[in-house]
A = this chain, B = another copy of it.
Amino acid sequence: MFEKLKQAVCDANIELQRQRLVIYSWGNVSGINRKKGIVAIKPSGVRYDELTPDKIVLLDLQGKIVEGNLKPSSDTPTHLELYRNFKSIGGVCHTHSTYATIWAQACMEIPCFGTTAADYFYGEIPVTEPMAKEEIEQDYELNTGKAIVKRFKTIKPMHMPAVLVANHGPFTWGKNPDAAVESAVILEQVAMMALGTVTINPNSNQIDNVLLDKHYLRKHGKNAYYGQK
């Protein structure tokens, strides 16, 4: 019944490695069937070249395992919190990709320095607040999700399909698992360019709102005119 979802989640996880966003088992992608309320996610600690659709774990939105013999990713409670709160998303991705993690470690938002970012991210990439002692010690992964949701109080998730968890790394999302990985690839590229930009010119400015609107809306929304549709 969920074969297609499991295949899509398996493929998206393998794509993480192909795109060089992960080494070893450092990353995970999930997908959701909204109608059934079922989430499919990578098993914990399994390497990408050993991953097959039958190893993908199925859970309901409260975290109860519905199918699968392996433990789900230890980051599962973060994914579930995102699905519960961001109703428009269909896939979630977590990596420790080099440049996005660098910005997360510096606890700094990635400014929108150019149209490359503006084509996908409607503004600067947000970073979460550091978590409190008790949020770390108890239900850490759930609280990571809560920190993200809190940071998005005034941001629309589908306008900003990425966040940096402070001192940790990026989570990204999209309409499906594939799109979540695409967000992660583009975030990494944007993060790399932003590092270079501040290296050359520490006083670089974010792009003008007019240019941001132009590029973002050229690709998204009802007046989009990029691509074949």
Residues of A within 8 A of B (CB): 23-26, 43-46, 70-71, 74, 96, 98-99, 101-108, 113-116, 130-131, 133, 136-137, 140, 167-169, 182, 185-186, 189, 192-201, 204, 207-208, 210-211, 214, 218, 225-228
Q: Which of B104, B192, B201, B214 contacts A114 (CB 8 A)?
A: B104
**A188, closest chain B residue (CB):** B23
Given known contacts A189-B23, A214-B136, A102 and B228 CB-to-CB distance under 8 angstroms:
no
Q: Which of B46, B70, B99, B131 contacts A196 (CB 8 A)?
A: B99
This chain: copies in complex = 4
Q: Is A227 a contact partner of B44 (Cβ separation < 8 A)?
A: yes
- 4 new A-B pairs (CB below 8 Å) besides A45-B227, A46-B228, A102-B199? A74-B226, A107-B201, A115-B168, A115-B169
